């Protein structure tokens, strides 16, 4: 049975719950709520196992804070014997307009501390990441406030269908593969 590691990036703590930077956690929480499973606290992460169409998805929400996400991902890849090809990281992206979803198989960290940690820990930039656009509606010097800020009322109304699409992309990644998933979803 094929096994996949799906890592949603975010920060632990109530103050970060509904922030743009925590979209990775939010997507996994929505998937858990929809499919009726829950996360439990384990080494370096909140962890859940989800079975879908003969695949096993190990879902993690690192408890290491964003800047050390690589430590949790590396640990769970080793513990579950999951290859780099079967890793999918869910992350926010300032460079994409709000709600835009892009699946990529490699790339730079783009200044994202979570991706930087993963790339430094794995010593590799060739892993799949699902980038969730959060836009860049902030003034000069206010990037941190924006990223760690709460969703606007308008954004909150638009989030559910985008999160639903992200969940479909996770399932597709595990069942039909990254290339076909990119073809099916990246231009929607």
In tens digits, what is the pLDDT along the chain, a chain of 188 residues? 799 999 999 999 999 999 999 999 999 999 999 999 999 999 999 999 999 999 999 999 999 989 999 999 999 999 999 999 999 999 999 999 999 999 999 999 999 999 999 999 999 999 999 999 999 888 888 888 999 999 999 999 999 999 999 999 999 999 999 999 999 999 76
Contact 62, 73 (CB under 8 A): yes
By the 10 Å C-beta count (0-12 exposed, 13-18 middle, 19+ buried), 159 is classed as buried
- The pLDDT of residue 139 is 85
- The pLDDT of residue 158 is 95
- The pLDDT of residue 65 is 87
- The pLDDT of residue 140 is 87
Task: Please count the structural domains in the chain.
Answer: 1
- The pLDDT of residue 71 is 97
Q: Note the helical H segments in 80-152.
A: 113-122, 143-147
Q: Which residues are catalytic?
A: 21
Sheet containing 101-104: which strands, arranged edge to edge? 40-42, 45-52, 55-62, 3-8, 87-93, 128-133, 101-104
> What domain range includes position 109?
3-185
User: Cα dihedral sign for 61, 66, 70, 71?
Assistant: negative
Phi, psi of 114 (to 5 degrees): -65, -45
Q: Give the whole-angstrom CA distance, residue 78 versus residue 65.
A: 20
Residue 118: give its domain's CATH number: 3.40.50.1470
CA 36 vs CA 24, 50, 56, 186: distances in Å: 18, 10, 15, 28
């Amino acid at each position: 049975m094929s096994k996949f590691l799906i890592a949603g990036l975010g920060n632990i703590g109530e103050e970060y719950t509904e922030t743009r930077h925590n979209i990775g956690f939010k997507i996994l929480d929505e998937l858990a709520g929809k499919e009726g499973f829950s996360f439990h606290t384990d080494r370096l992460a909140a962890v859940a196992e989800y079975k879908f169409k003969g695949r096993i998805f190990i879902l993690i929400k690192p408890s290491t804070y964003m800047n050390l996400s690589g430590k949790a991902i590396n640990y769970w890849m080793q513990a579950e014997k999951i290859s780099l090809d079967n890793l999918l990281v869910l992350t926010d992206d300032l460079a994409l307009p709000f709600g835009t979803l892009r699946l990529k198989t490699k790339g730079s960290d783009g200044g994202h501390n979570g991706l930087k940690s993963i790339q430094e820990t794995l010593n590799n930039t060739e892993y799949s990441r699902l980038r969730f656009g959060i836009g860049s509606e902030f003034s000069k010097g206010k990037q941190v406030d924006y990223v760690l800020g709460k969703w606007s009322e308008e954004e909150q109304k638009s989030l559910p269908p985008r999160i639903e699409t992200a969940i479909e992309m996770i399932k597709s990644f595990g069942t039909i593969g990254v290339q076909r998933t990119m073809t099916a979803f990246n231009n929607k």
